[in-house]
Amino acid sequence: MKKDRLSASAIGKLKKRMARFPSLPLIHKPTPVQKMNRLTGLFGGPDIWMKREDLTGLAFGGNKSRKMEYILADILGQKADTVITWASLQSNWCLQMSAAARMFGIEPILVLFKTYDLPEEPDGNLLLDRLLGAEVHIKEAGRGKTVSLETGLSHLEAAAYEARKKGRRPYLVPVGGSMPAGSMSQPLGALAYVQALIELAEQMGALGLQIGAVVHATGSGGTQAGLVVGAKALGLETRIIGISVSEEKTSLARIVLDICRRTEETLGLGTVVNPEDVIVLDDYLGQGYGIVDRNVARIVAEVFRAEGVVLDPVYTAKAMVGLQDLAHKRFFRPGKPVVFFHTGGTPALFPNRRKLLELL
């Protein structure tokens, strides 16, 4: 039986399972959850709350820094001295990985794909990668596309080969830390978001509120998988709605479900996430990954002016366009708060400065 009220015993049980996985205290936790009164008014209801994962405190914040707590613990556990990962040129993931790695004397190597037409000049996350002294390899890729797991891993293997020749011990981690692959044998990124879901459930529970839905940007799938598995384990009716910023919904939902299953297996909770628990919407992609359009520019300005909260142009802006549209379409159950996860990514505003101002 599903229920709305938060069960203390379900929380206790899940927390006990989570405690089996080593993590490092890298971020300010719990991140704040705030009611967005002006946004609620602008969107015409339901009550909109924001979980401020942009305020984690590590290198401009974001969902990737929460994942880093588990992933860095694994890297240290495997006694690696180098971490190699890939993503797109202005990746938040790669910045967070490099910053966290540096704190523990681990060398970051990044394979960055040019998936949209941004210059290679040091700006936004790429500037920060350079300041951290990450070894950066830039590769070409199709506009508005993402790089497949196979392609990405093959590039990591090539970089690992070179690193090993120099006597280094590399740890290979796939984009977003979502899919267990490379040197990461467990879905550690998703585990971090099981933990985030517990955190949110406790925060809202303490206010006597039941969460109707969670809305967030979904890319490599680990964040959504963690939230879905967490909600399931706590027996919550909360719908987790992932707004895709890169993939078509059927293929992304399949990836999320796969990570969900692996996360459930890893936690050993005996729950089973169903395909219908994984809600991925791809209506707000625009022209594809990282491509800034008029809706993105508009919502960034609107939310900033209304709430003083800065969204990013690649992830949270598209998710917020989705939330606004869903609110207008009366998609949400009335009377229950909707929690928007601000997953960070704001440094990517700056390399997109011209586009944003042109479109406003």
Ligand X SMILES: *Cc1c(COP(=O)(O)O)cnc(C)c1O
Closest listed residue to residue 167, CA positions, set 81, 76, 78: 81
Burial group, residue 79, by CB count within 10 angstroms (0-12, 13-18, 19+): exposed
Q: Please, what is the minimum distance in Å from the beta carbon of residue 317 to ligand X?
A: 10
| DSSP assigned state of 62 | B
Contact call for residue 352 and ligand X (CB under 6 A): no
Among 176, 182, 187, 337, indicate the residue that binds ligand X (CB under 6 A).
176
Helix (H) and strand (E) counts in the chain: 12, 10
| Binding characters for ligand X, 243-272, by CB under 6 A (x = yes) | ------------------------------
Among 115, 178, 266, 295, indicate the residue that binds ligand X (CB under 6 A).
178
Q: Please, what is the minimum distance in Å from the beta carbon of residue 312 to ligand X?
A: 5
Q: Please, what is the minimum distance in Å from the beta carbon of residue 79 to ligand X?
A: 26
Contact call for residue 289 and ligand X (CB under 6 A): no
Q: Please, what is the minimum distance in Å from the beta carbon of residue 271 to ligand X?
A: 20
Among 313, 322, 344, 347, indicate the residue that binds ligand X (CB under 6 A).
344
Contact call for residue 340 and ligand X (CB under 6 A): no
Please state the separation of Cα 332 from the chain's center in Å. Answer: 22
Number of residue whose CB is nearest ligand X: 345
Q: Are 51 and 200 in contact (CB under 8 A)?
A: yes
Contact call for residue 108 and ligand X (CB under 6 A): no
Helices (H), 30-88: 37-43, 63-77
Q: Please, what is the minimum distance in Å from the beta carbon of residue 217 to ligand X?
A: 4
Q: What are 251's two structure tokens? A: 């293929």
Q: Are 56 and 66 in contact (CB under 8 A)?
A: yes
Catalytic residue among 23, 65, 88, 91: 91
Is 91 assigned a catalytic role? yes
| DSSP assigned state of 246 | S
Which stretch, 150-158, 272-280, 292-300, 337-345, contacts ligand X (CB under 6 A)?
337-345
SS3 169: coil
| Binding characters for ligand X, 303-322, by CB under 6 A (x = yes) | ---------x--xx------
Name residues whose C-beta falls within 8 Å of residue 312's C-beta, 6 or more positions apart in sequence.
Answer: 92, 344, 345, 346, 347, 348, 349
SS3 140: strand
Closest listed residue to residue 228, CA positions, set 255, 200, 284, 190: 190
| Binding characters for ligand X, 51-80, by CB under 6 A (x = yes) | -----------xxx----------------
Closest listed residue to residue 108, CA positions, set 124, 131, 88: 131
Contact call for residue 345 and ligand X (CB under 6 A): yes
Q: Kindly identify the residues of this chain, within the stretch 210-229, that bind ligand X according to CB under 6 A.
A: 217-224
Cis peptide before 30 (omega within 30 of 0): yes
CB nearer to ligand X: pick between 210 and 351: 351
SS3 106: coil
Q: Kindly identify the residues of this chain, within the stretch 184-203, that bind ligand X according to CB under 6 A.
A: 189
Contact call for residue 92 and ligand X (CB under 6 A): yes
Q: Kindly identify the residues of this chain, within the stretch 116-135, that bind ligand X according to CB under 6 A.
A: none
Distance CA 41, CA 43 (A): 6
Q: Please, what is the minimum distance in Å from the beta carbon of residue 245 to ligand X?
A: 7
Catalytic positions, please? Answer: 91
Enumerate binding residues for ligand X (CB under 6 A): 62-64, 92-93, 176, 178, 189, 217-224, 312, 315-316, 343-345
